[in-house]
Amino acid sequence: MAILPGIATLSIGYDAESAVAMSRPPSRFEQIVGDTEAFRLMLDGALRDAGSPCLVWLPDAGQFLSGREYHAALGAFFGLVFGHPEGERRYRAQAAAITERLEDSGADSLVFACEVTGLKMVAVPVRVAETLAAVLFCCAMRPTDPDDDRRFRDAVRGLEEAFGLAAGQLHQYAAHLPDDADPGVERAVARARRVIAALTRLCADRLALQQAQQQDRWRLKAIGALQVANQHLNDLSISWDAFWRATARLLEDLAPIIGAVCGLVLVPGRGTRRDMHIATAVCGLPSEQFTGRLYRLDDALLGVIARAEHFHILHTPNDDLAQGPVRRSIIEQAPEVGARLGREVLIPMFFEDQRNGLVVFFLSNDPAPDSDVLVIDSSTGDSILAQSGSLIGAAFNNRQFVQRRHQQHKFKRAWLETVTHQFVAPLSAVQGHAELLTNRLARWENKNPKLFANWPERHIEQFWNSLTAIERTAQYASRLAYNFSRVVYQDKELGGDLELTVADDLTGELIQIARDFQGSARENRILKVEVDTPSVAPLNGRVAIITSDDLFRQAIGNLVDNAVKYSFENTAIILRGRLEKDWGVIEVINEGIRLAPGEETRIFEYEYRTPEARATYAPGTGIGLSVARDIIVQHGGTLTARPSVPVRKLGDRQSWLTTFTIRLPLIDSDGS
């Protein structure tokens, strides 16, 4: 036993409030114990029998824990002195020195004494797993020697004066100290050791409990991550991008839980030599174990590796992975992560008992000894990782299935397009021939009235009717075929991936559409097709459109085409925009024939044309607006029309203002 001599001032205590006020980080002991107040209560039982006032000091935080019964007296006593800044500084210095000596010397106890008060304290280390977790101080108070006792009382009075306390106030606290305290240091040490035994056991139990709770928390977190991923299983099928993003997110969630540096998904490749090399050398497993399928590394996931932060080690079935190309690839592309790569955990991806891929977690080569991670064993963590493998395997299988279906649909669509083209071109030719014949015969008949002299009158009439019918029918049929191809586009089942893209330049998009129709507008003597750009500008970046297959352009184009056909001469077609609550609104406005009340919903019916539209003889099939509406619905929006309102007289005709309104859902500024 060592004694620290010459401590000239009273030892000064420390309270929890000041620790909080210092905003210190949690100590190692607190990290282990978690709820220090609960721990203190558990200590009460152990300290109650100690016979002397006891304090437990956590060396890495300077925080005291003490037996409940003595806490009030000692806490108040030390608290009086604590208000003295110099006293606090000196006491902290002493406590740090004691801890350092206990750590360095490996001594099982130290005794130090305060010359002023005669107070003697025994410092005993509390070690948990060979780590100095706490220091137990047992006080040997109130010396029985009369001289010492007198000196003690004098010192207390001196302190009272120094701190401006009333006479006897400090002594009153000292009086709370147990009268039967063993004055002998050796006795105090013996008692301290009894407490140590209980305290060490409590620490160990608490540590085990804490670790078990931590395991439970990780397991719950892992299950939570799996549940989230499971909820988005269908979303994973939308595109390969979505699949990789979602699986990467799952791996990111799981990596810190099991203490992995990073995770990768290896999926079936196309059977190339490189894939074969990776299957055998990288995975370290014969390809036949994966039912003959091969695997490739998806480089996109290296981004995930670079962002990974957590590290630890579990187990590996095969050390050959150490020199594999996957590892080399990681080291080349993400050197910082590569430097930490340890061993691997391989998790098969399953779908209906078929392996269809492999999840690889790379573990750290420098695991922290006291890291709190989910320990993977056959009874706990393996089941979570197995679930991950099954989940990713199912998502991967889904994605492959959807891709195959999309490919089939794309093939069908390409075939339908070809067929459509093959119809449109000859029908257009038939129409042209009929129109040519009509024009020429009409001219010749004008020049030569006897051209049809020998024909019966009704045959002549029928002849002209037939020519006109051929021309119009061919035109109708070719337009129908053309629109049919448009209908094919807007069928999502056939159309494949119809992903929405934020329209950062909606204004430009609308201007381009308007420009496309300037020619046909001029033919109909319409003054202009114009975009009201200031009104559209607020919508830029706030709505999403389907750019694939020009679907959005087609929808707006159909509306403009409709406007061009039914506008009067010398009018304008305007595309306008505005924000309306949660919607971005685009309006197509024209001045021309009337859209009567009651017709505003019927015009979106397939092949419906209003009587007014039919009366214009403008070519139309009644499909364009229906297609436009369906496309806008696929944007998550609506397309509506309002009955026309009268504007003015143009010649002998009344002109009407007609407005078609598209509402697209607004996107938040964060893109959601």
Partner 1 sequence: MTQPTARKRILMVDDQLDYIQPYAEALEDEDFDVTLISQVDSALEMLREGGFDVIILDMLMPPSEGVHEDFEDLDLRKSGGWVLSQIREDERLRDVPIIFITAVRDTRVREWVEQTERAYTGRDPVILTKPVTLTQLIKIVRRVSE
Residues at the site binding partner 1, with contacts judged by CB under 8 A: 417, 420-421, 424-429, 431-433, 435-436, 439-440, 443, 474-475, 478-479, 482, 485, 515, 519, 522-523, 549-550, 619
**Cβ(162)–Cβ(81) under 8 Å?**
no
In angstroms, what is the minimal distance from the CB of 515 to partner 1?
Answer: 6
In angstroms, what is the minimal distance from the CB of 451 to partner 1?
Answer: 17
b/e map 521-560, b = 16+ CB within 10 Å: beebebeebbbbeebbeebbebbbbbeebebbbbbbbbbb
Q: How far apart are CA 506 and CA 102, in angstroms?
A: 73
Q: Which is nearer to partner 1, 307 or 421 (by Cβ)?
A: 421
**Max CA separation in the chain (angstroms):** 157
Tokens standing for residue 376: 């993977």
Q: How far apart are CA 65 and CA 16, in angstroms?
A: 9
CB atoms within 10 A of CB 209: 12
Q: Which is nearer to partner 1, 443 or 648 (by Cβ)?
A: 443
Question: Amino acid identity, residue 553?
Answer: R
In angstroms, what is the minimal distance from the CB of 537 to partner 1?
Answer: 23
In angstroms, what is the minimal distance from the CB of 616 to partner 1?
Answer: 15
In angstroms, what is the minimal distance from the CB of 477 to partner 1?
Answer: 9
Q: Which is nearer to partner 1, 217 or 525 (by Cβ)?
A: 525
Helix (H) or strand (E) segment spanning residue 196: helix 185-231
Report, in angstroms and rounded to the nearest whole number, the Rg of the chain calculated over CA atoms: 43
Q: How far apart are CA 657 and CA 643, in angstroms?
A: 9
| Rounded to 5°, angle at Cα 291 from 286 and 294 | 65
Tokens standing for residue 43: 């200590």
Residue 58: strand, helix, or coil: strand
From edge to edge, which strands make up the β-sheet containing 528-531?
528-531, 572-580, 583-592, 653-665, 638-650
**Cβ(48)–Cβ(71) under 8 Å?**
no
Q: How far apart are CA 574 and CA 564, in angstroms?
A: 11
Tokens standing for residue 391: 């989940």
In angstroms, what is the minimal distance from the CB of 635 to partner 1?
Answer: 18
Q: Which is nearer to partner 1, 298 or 549 (by Cβ)?
A: 549
Q: How far apart are CA 597 and CA 128, in angstroms?
A: 86
Tokens standing for residue 369: 């000894």
Helix (H) or strand (E) segment spanning residue 335: helix 335-338
**Cβ(576)–Cβ(586) under 8 Å?**
yes
Q: How many residues does the chain have?
A: 672
In angstroms, what is the minimal distance from the CB of 513 to partner 1?
Answer: 12
In angstroms, what is the minimal distance from the CB of 518 to partner 1?
Answer: 8
**Cβ(276)–Cβ(360) under 8 Å?**
no
Q: How far apart are CA 407 and CA 12, in angstroms?
A: 79
- Which DSSP letter does residue 666 get? P
In angstroms, what is the minimal distance from the CB of 558 to partner 1?
Answer: 12
In angstroms, what is the minimal distance from the CB of 522 to partner 1?
Answer: 8
- Strands 528-531, 354-364: pairing kind: unpaired
In angstroms, what is the minimal distance from the CB of 291 to partner 1?
Answer: 36
Q: Which is nearer to partner 1, 201 or 522 (by Cβ)?
A: 522
Tokens standing for residue 80: 């009086």
In angstroms, what is the minimal distance from the CB of 567 to partner 1?
Answer: 17
